[in-house]
């Protein structure tokens, strides 16, 4: 059992260790060192005068106080990353690969504790948190492999006395800004690619979930990632605009990679414009889930449950609108409602039975309530759920709405919560038109057993990722990203590393 004294020693900075976190960490032994509260810069834990609270979204209880960095710390971290860049980018790919792999192994060794940190600060069920840690670690493993496969090209020249080469080189320092819904995986999906390419990074994690980012820093340090290569500057919501601006306008930063809301993404794009930084943006979605008459309805219901209610509906690839053809509509709605009532259990993420943790904060619950009341006021029916759960605070009942029309808010904006609105449609063309009416396009799903229809609809959906008879599609090997206002660039897969590489053409003349 780790003593309080030992845990305190593991938590530099202005942090005290409140009882909930102390309970969480009891029995962790040396893994208690994963609970950090300082900023991590230039290979060191740095104390900052101010601190901000990190709270359990289920109870509101304070878990820890974490260093509240400001613009000065952000700029210092950028300078550290910039100093580290020449030697990191010049290191043989094999060395960078080995360090990423070591970091991956440390994540796997500590996977249970890392999962507990996610559940504590994000609220998602422990089983989902375990899944996230494996997914998160898989990016370090994948990019450890990709690091060694960054090939250039030799191009046949038009002139006899020339030879043409193409080199791929790291872009430089990357500023990485991540959300709270996947507190670990959204970091490694970017950082794995960046470090593999030879870039150095400064990460600003979401204010709701900095502990997972700091645990990653601790493991990066243990893995021997050199000082300045991976830096983390946590900050409160109040400091976020200043820190964001400092990171995204600093001339030493060459690249911004962001995952979060479309509104924040647009602001960061403005920042990037001034110094023409490279950008990757993974922004909001509004995923349609179409069930055609030919679908296997049980498969569609299973896919719908997974795609809608994972992480309590708080992922950017979660279904936001169900479009169900009129012939299968009533059966689908009836079976979907039964499945929700039987299989989903709202509760604390640490309870084994829980499939639905709390929403991240009050603002998120209010948005869900607003979408439901708007839909009901315009004629939608609540089939199941529809209100806050008796557990209180940020817990919400998984909700199914029928008689939904396209003029309701829930079919126009991302809900980011456990609400499934069902729109009835008549023809394939009508469904595709409704699906494509959004100004964003991240994921889209449809269920059909008709091969012709599968090809047509997969090609016509204006999204970056399509699930055909599948409700979950994220995997390290696959390119993740969107079209329209869902963003720019792709993460993971063989394409993800290109986001951190420049193409340089070298012309050898006079031969």
Of the pair 261, 296, the CB lying nearest ligand ADP is at 261
Catalytic residue among 73, 128, 132, 282: 282
Catalytic residue among 316, 397, 462, 499: 316
Structural contact between residues 508 and 163, judged by C-beta atoms closer than 8 angstroms: yes
- Contact with ligand ADP (CB under 6 A) among 267, 269, 339, 466: 267
For 115, the token pair is 């999962």
- Contact with ligand ADP (CB under 6 A) among 38, 57, 244, 358: 244
Measured between alpha carbons, how far is 190 from 499 in angstroms, rounded to an integer? 9
Q: Tell whether residue 284 is a contact of ligand ADP (CB under 6 A).
A: no
Q: Is there a catalytic annotation at residue 316?
A: yes
CB of 240 to ligand ADP, least distance (A): 4
Strands 62-67 and 173-177: unpaired
Strands 62-67 and 51-55: antiparallel
Of the pair 132, 498, the CB lying nearest ligand ADP is at 132
Of the pair 241, 379, the CB lying nearest ligand ADP is at 241
By the 10 Å C-beta count (0-12 exposed, 13-18 middle, 19+ buried), 300 is classed as buried
CB of 242 to ligand ADP, least distance (A): 8
- Contact with ligand ADP (CB under 6 A) among 119, 264, 356, 486: 264
Measured between alpha carbons, how far is 312 from 242 in angstroms, rounded to an integer? 31
Of the pair 114, 175, the CB lying nearest ligand ADP is at 175
- Contact with ligand ADP (CB under 6 A) among 15, 24, 115, 206: 206
DSSP-derived letter for residue 348 is -
Q: Tell whether residue 311 is a contact of ligand ADP (CB under 6 A).
A: no
Helices 210-223, 185-197: crossing angle, 10 deg rounding: 40
Q: Tell whether residue 134 is a contact of ligand ADP (CB under 6 A).
A: no
Q: Tell whether residue 184 is a contact of ligand ADP (CB under 6 A).
A: no
The piece of 8-16, 34-42, 54-62, 259-267 that touches ligand ADP (CB under 6 A) is 259-267
Q: Tell whether residue 179 is a contact of ligand ADP (CB under 6 A).
A: yes
The piece of 117-125, 173-181, 342-350, 476-484 that touches ligand ADP (CB under 6 A) is 173-181
Q: Is there a catalytic annotation at residue 318?
A: no
Provide the b/e sequence for 256-269 (b: ≥16 CB within 10 Å): bbbbbebebbebbb
Q: Tell whether residue 261 is a contact of ligand ADP (CB under 6 A).
A: yes
Measured between alpha carbons, how far is 144 from 156 in angstroms, rounded to an integer? 31
- Contact with ligand ADP (CB under 6 A) among 26, 89, 240, 469: 240
- Contact with ligand ADP (CB under 6 A) among 92, 241, 392, 509: 241
Structural contact between residues 319 and 446, judged by C-beta atoms closer than 8 angstroms: no
> Nearest-5° angle of CA 465, CA 279, CA 248?
135
Structural contact between residues 471 and 302, judged by C-beta atoms closer than 8 angstroms: yes
Structural contact between residues 173 and 255, judged by C-beta atoms closer than 8 angstroms: yes
Closest CA to 28 of 162, 120, 99, 103: 120
Helix (H/G/I), strand (E/B), else coil: 419: strand
For 508, the token pair is 């050898």
Q: Tell whether residue 467 is a contact of ligand ADP (CB under 6 A).
A: no
Q: Tell whether residue 346 is a contact of ligand ADP (CB under 6 A).
A: no
User: How many binding residues for ligand ADP (CB under 6 A)?
Assistant: 13
CB of 270 to ligand ADP, least distance (A): 10
Which residues within the stretch 434-453 sit at the binding site for ligand ADP (CB under 6 A)? none
Measured between alpha carbons, how far is 285 from 160 in angstroms, rounded to an integer? 51
Q: Tell whether residue 177 is a contact of ligand ADP (CB under 6 A).
A: yes
The piece of 104-112, 187-195, 238-246, 286-294 that touches ligand ADP (CB under 6 A) is 238-246
Helices 93-109, 126-146: crossing angle, 10 deg rounding: 170
Please give the torsion angle defined by the CA atoms of residues 421, 403, 363 and 190, in that order, rounded to the nearest 10 degrees. Answer: 20
C-alpha neighbours within 13 Å on the C-beta side of residue 55: 16
- Specify the DSSP element, H or E, that contains 253: strand 253-259
Q: Tell whether residue 122 is a contact of ligand ADP (CB under 6 A).
A: no
Of the pair 197, 283, the CB lying nearest ligand ADP is at 283
Of the pair 121, 428, the CB lying nearest ligand ADP is at 121
- Contact with ligand ADP (CB under 6 A) among 260, 285, 358, 481: 260
Residue number of the CB atom closest to ligand ADP: 244
| Residues contributing to the site for ligand ADP (CB under 6 A) | 177-179, 204, 206-207, 240-241, 244, 260-261, 264, 267
Residues with catalytic function: 282, 316
């Amino acid at each position: 059992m780790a003593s309080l004294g030992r845990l305190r020693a593991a938590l530099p900075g202005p942090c005290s260790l409140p009882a909930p976190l102390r309970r969480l960490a009891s029995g962790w032994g040396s893994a208690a060192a994963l609970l950090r509260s300082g900023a991590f810069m230039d290979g060191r834990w740095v104390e900052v005068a101010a601190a901000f609270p990190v709270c359990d979204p289920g109870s509101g209880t304070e878990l820890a106080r974490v260093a509240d960095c400001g613009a000065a710390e952000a700029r210092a971290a950028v300078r550290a990353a910039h100093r580290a860049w020449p030697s990191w980018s010049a290191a043989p790919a094999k060395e960078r690969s080995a360090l990423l792999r070591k970091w991956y192994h440390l994540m796997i060794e500590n996977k249970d504790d890392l999962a507990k940190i996610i559940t504590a600060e994000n609220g998602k069920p422990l089983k989902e948190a375990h899944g996230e840690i494996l997914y998160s670690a898989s990016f370090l493993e994948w990019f450890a492999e990709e690091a060694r496969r960054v090939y250039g090209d030799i191009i046949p020249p038009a002139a006899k006395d020339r030879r043409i080469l193409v080199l791929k080189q790291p872009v430089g320092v990357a500023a990485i800004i991540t959300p709270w819904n996947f507190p670990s995986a959204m970091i490694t999906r970017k950082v794995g690619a960046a470090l593999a390419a030879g870039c150095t990074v400064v990460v600003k994690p979401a204010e709701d979930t900095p502990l997972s980012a700091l645990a990653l820093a601790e493991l990066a340090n243990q893995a021997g990632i050199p000082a300045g290569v991976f830096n983390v500057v946590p900050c409160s919501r109040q400091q976020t605009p200043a820190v964001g601006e400092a990171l995204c306008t600093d001339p030493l930063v060459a690249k911004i990679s962001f995952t979060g809301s479309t509104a924040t993404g647009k602001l960061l794009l403005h920042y990037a414009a001034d110094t023409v930084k490279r950008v990757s943006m993974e922004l909001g979605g509004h995923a349609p889930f179409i069930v055609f008459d030919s679908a296997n309805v049980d498969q569609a219901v299973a896919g719908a449950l997974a795609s809608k209610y994972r992480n309590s509906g708080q992922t950017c690839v979660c279904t936001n609108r169900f479009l169900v053809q009129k012939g299968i509509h009533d059966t689908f709605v009836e079976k979907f409602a039964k499945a929700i009532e039987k299989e989903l259990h709202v509760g604390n993420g640490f309870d084994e039975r829980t499939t639905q943790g709390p929403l991240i904060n009050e603002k998120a619950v209010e948005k869900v309530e607003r979408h439901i009341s708007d839909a009901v006021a315009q004629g939608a029916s609540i089939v199941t759920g529809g209100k806050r759960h008796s557990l209180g605070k940020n817990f919400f009942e998984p909700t199914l709405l029928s008689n939904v029309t396209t003029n309701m808010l829930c079919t126009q904006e991302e809900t980011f919560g456990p609400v499934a609105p069902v729109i009835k449609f008549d023809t394939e063309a009508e469904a595709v038109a409704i699906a494509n009416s959004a100004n964003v396009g991240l994921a889209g799903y449809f269920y059909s057993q008709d091969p012709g229809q599968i090809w047509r609809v997969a090609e016509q959906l204006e999204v970056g990722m399509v699930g055909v008879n599948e409700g979950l599609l994220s995997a390290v090997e696959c390119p993740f990203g969107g079209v329209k206002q869902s963003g720019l660039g792709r993460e993971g897969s063989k394409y993800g590393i290109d986001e951190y590489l420049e193409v340089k053409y070298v012309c050898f003349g006079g031969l």
